[in-house]
Chains A and B, each alone.
Chain A
Amino acid sequence: MLNAINNALDLSMKADENIVLLGEDIGKDGGVFRVTDGLQAKYGENRVMDSPLAESGIIGTSIGMAIGGLHPIPEIQFAGFMLLGFSQLLNHAARYRERSRGAFTVPMVVRTPVSGGIRALEHHSDSPEILYSHIGGLIVVEPSNPYDAKGLLMMAATMNDPVLFLEPTKLYRLFKQEVPEDAYTIPIGKANRIAEGNDLSIITWGTMVPVVRNVVDKKKLSADIIDMRTINPLDEQAVLESAKKTGRVLIVHEASLSFGAGAEISARIAEKAMFELKAPIMRVGSPSLPYPLPGYETAYIPNEKKVAQAIDKLMSV
């Protein structure tokens, strides 16, 4: 996925000279995960900038650049540090268009690594999609594989909106996938049904996609697996369609359970498809606790066993 994102940035920068990258250590070092490796050498220090160490500054100046006609793609080194720029995202990036009735827009893509599973330090492993999905005016995207990462990022880089692009660190190098060399886009706001079946619907995204896939394969289930791809705005139609078809729904996310995106999805199904369900909607998420230090990480993140048990319970109703 690392290479796919790097390639998407490269192609986007080639196509649009108003795209600039900025962030901590993204230039010479190519970013702490090497996502931007080689881009400064190719496009120069004026388009790929090692910024001062200040997340609010990175997002705040990106907003100004965007209003000034550029299309910045800032990187925040880890999602845990993005909270220092939260006010800029919520108070300004998401609101300029609305505040000015369309006179000023903020086309930018804020990229940041999310989620756990790589034995990192504290604050390096959170899954914060829901913190940002509650903000009207902000788009939240999270790919689960290299092909999607490239297409979604290239799409985001052409939109006249602020997009938050969450990159699961665990998936950066988890598996290889052939990705077309040429430019292509994947629509934002649309989910992807990655497996088709009749007995249940599993709605998931990010790091949980491979986990869910493994369980479904091992248990030889006939299941719809919906990879949301975009958290906000939510592809409600895709969710409802599948829920109505199978009548059994499980929502799986790495973020903690309480007030997670699963609650939102579940509420929408309950409002619009409850009488077509055969069982209560179920959710799997991490415990409703702060993300632990790496020693307890495997006990915290939902694993295949947890997902399998939830499926058994759902199917037994």
Chain B
Amino acid sequence: MVSKETFNGSVEYVQVMDENGNVDQSLFPQDLKDEQIVEMLKWMILTRALDAKTLSLQRQGRVYTYAPLVGEEATQVGTALAMRKQDMFVPGYRQHGVYLVRGASLEAHFMGWRGFEEGLKVPKEVGGLPVSVPVGTQILHAVGLAFAQKYKKQDSVVLGYTGDGGTSEGDFYESLNFAGVWKVPVVAVVENNEWAISVPRSHQTAAQTLAQKAIAAGIKGVQVDGNDVIGVYKVTKDAIESAKNGMPVMIESMTYRMSMHTTADDPTKYRDPKEVEYWKARDPIDRVRKYLTAKNLWNADIEAKLAEENSKRINEAVEKAEAFKGDPKSMFENAYSFVPETLQEELDDAEANNFWQ
């Protein structure tokens, strides 16, 4: 008879800046300069403003169903800023902040959420794939994309995003497993915002952490305070380095969905408002504001000026997006690399009979 321990794993939790803006110097990334932290704050503020505007447009019927991100700015901005220019990302449907930081236009954001595919024509230099709705399925694309980078000997790492709910999907586990076997340059970012629509994290899995799921696939798993933009930045930088060297990483970024899942649900129906209060005190933007104010790098005037600029940019983008009139013909022209005869006939029929007017 033999009885011995064959595996013993653990998961590290990282927080660099706490909710009061205090920083742990031993973990603070050496290369991170003050002006970069100012940039982080600016991106988070723009992201929140964009989110608020989109939600308000939705309430006015000018945007269709929308998935707000408020509360998750640090996770999105921190991971996106940690990427190098040549790195790529595969988002779910809530990563508006990632797109922004990576250089996608505000106009494209509104066009997409107003229901036009033209908004999902992500430019090459952004390095992102279009919004993907089926939860957790797109991490597989990140793994395949990472395989292609490795195959073509490109120095590029791919970040794939999903949420806590997404980790229950079979495709999520298959992604980590393929990533581990193939040793491809991929980082899975789990934006654990505690809620999958109305189902809390505690009902999603009995696993103590989501990050430990990585261990079962033979890759690295790490937890980070997802409302700490510096912590997220650090952990992502390290993960990219690791993935580049053949060890994929899964990051569990522990944040909170301050708002609804999408505009189609009302969170007061399924969660205690006290919980929201708890997280309000851990806001990702407040702590950076405190930190930079203490260093005399931020004040109310700067913030007011920024708010004004943001608002102007956002409003201009809305105007442009609302001026866009799609051409239904584009549906027919983009299904295949060619237009099949039978499809051409449907197109001709619609045009000849003014079906679109």
Contact = CB atoms under 8 A, between A and B. Distances in A.
Given A56-B140, A56-B170, A61-B147, A103 B336 contact: no
B117 A60 contact: no
B351 interface: no
Nearest to B117: A101
A92 B145 CA distance: 14
B335 A68 contact: no
Given A61-B147, A68-B152, 11 more contacts: A54-B174, A56-B171, A60-B143, A60-B175, A61-B140, A64-B146, A70-B147, A92-B141, A100-B130, A105-B337, A237-B341
A161 B141 CA distance: 16
Interface residues of B, number: 47
B335 A98 contact: yes
A175 B178 CA distance: 38
Contacts of A105: 337
Interface stretch (B1-9, B118-126, B311-319): B118-126
B112 to A, nearest CB: 10
A233 interface: yes
Interface string A28-68: 00000000000000000010010110101100111111111
A239 to B, nearest CB: 11
Contacts of B178: 51-52, 54, 57, 61
Interface string B63-107: 000000000000000000000000000100000000000000000
Contact of B147 (A64, A97, A139, A161): A64
A176 interface: no
A61 B334 contact: no
A56 to B, nearest CB: 5
Contacts of A52: 174, 177-178, 181
B149 A68 contact: yes
Given A20-B151, A57-B171, A92-B132, A102 B121 contact: yes
A137 interface: yes
B141 A63 contact: yes
Given A92-B132, A136-B335, A234-B342, A100 B140 contact: no
Interface in B297-343: 330-331, 333-337, 340-343
A67 B151 contact: no
14 contacts: A60-B175, A61-B144, A62-B144, A64-B142, A64-B143, A64-B148, A65-B148, A65-B151, A68-B146, A92-B132, A97-B336, A101-B330, A104-B122, A105-B337
Given A60-B140, A68-B144, A92-B132, A101 B337 contact: no
Contacts of A67: 129, 141, 144-145, 148
Contact of B134 (A51, A87, A159): A87
B192 interface: no
A80 interface: no
B336 A161 contact: yes
Interface string B5-48: 00000000000000000000000000000000000000000000
B137 interface: yes
A63 B123 CA distance: 19
Nearest to B141: A64
Given A60-B171, A161-B337, A236-B342, A99 B141 contact: no
A67 B148 CA distance: 8
Contacts, number: 151
Interface of A: 20, 46, 49, 51-52, 54, 56-57, 60-70, 72, 87-88, 91-92, 96-105, 136-137, 139, 159-161, 189, 233-237
A165 B339 CA distance: 20
Given A67-B129, A102-B121, A97 B334 contact: yes
A99 B343 CA distance: 18
A57 B117 contact: no
Given A67-B145, A233-B341, A103 B122 contact: yes
A233 B148 contact: no
A137 B134 contact: no
A161 B337 CA distance: 6
Query: Which 4 interchain pairs have the tightest Cβ spacing?
Result: A64-B144, A68-B148, A60-B140, A233-B340
Contact of B145 (A49, A65, A189): A65
A42 B205 CA distance: 45
Interface in B141-165: 141-149, 151-152, 158
A218 B137 CA distance: 52
A98 B329 CA distance: 12
Given A101-B120, A161-B337, A96 B130 contact: yes
Nearest to B326: A101
Contacts of A160: 337
B87 to A, nearest CB: 13
A69 B335 CA distance: 19
Contact of A139 (B134, B141, B336): B336
A136 to B, nearest CB: 5
Interface centre among A56, A61, A105 (most CB of B within 10 A): A61
A99 B337 contact: no
B337 A57 contact: no
B151 A100 contact: no
Contacts of A136: 335
Contacts of B333: 102
A70 B148 contact: yes
Given A20-B151, A60-B171, A139-B336, A98 B137 contact: no
Contacts of A96: 129-130
Given A63-B140, A68-B147, A56 B336 contact: no
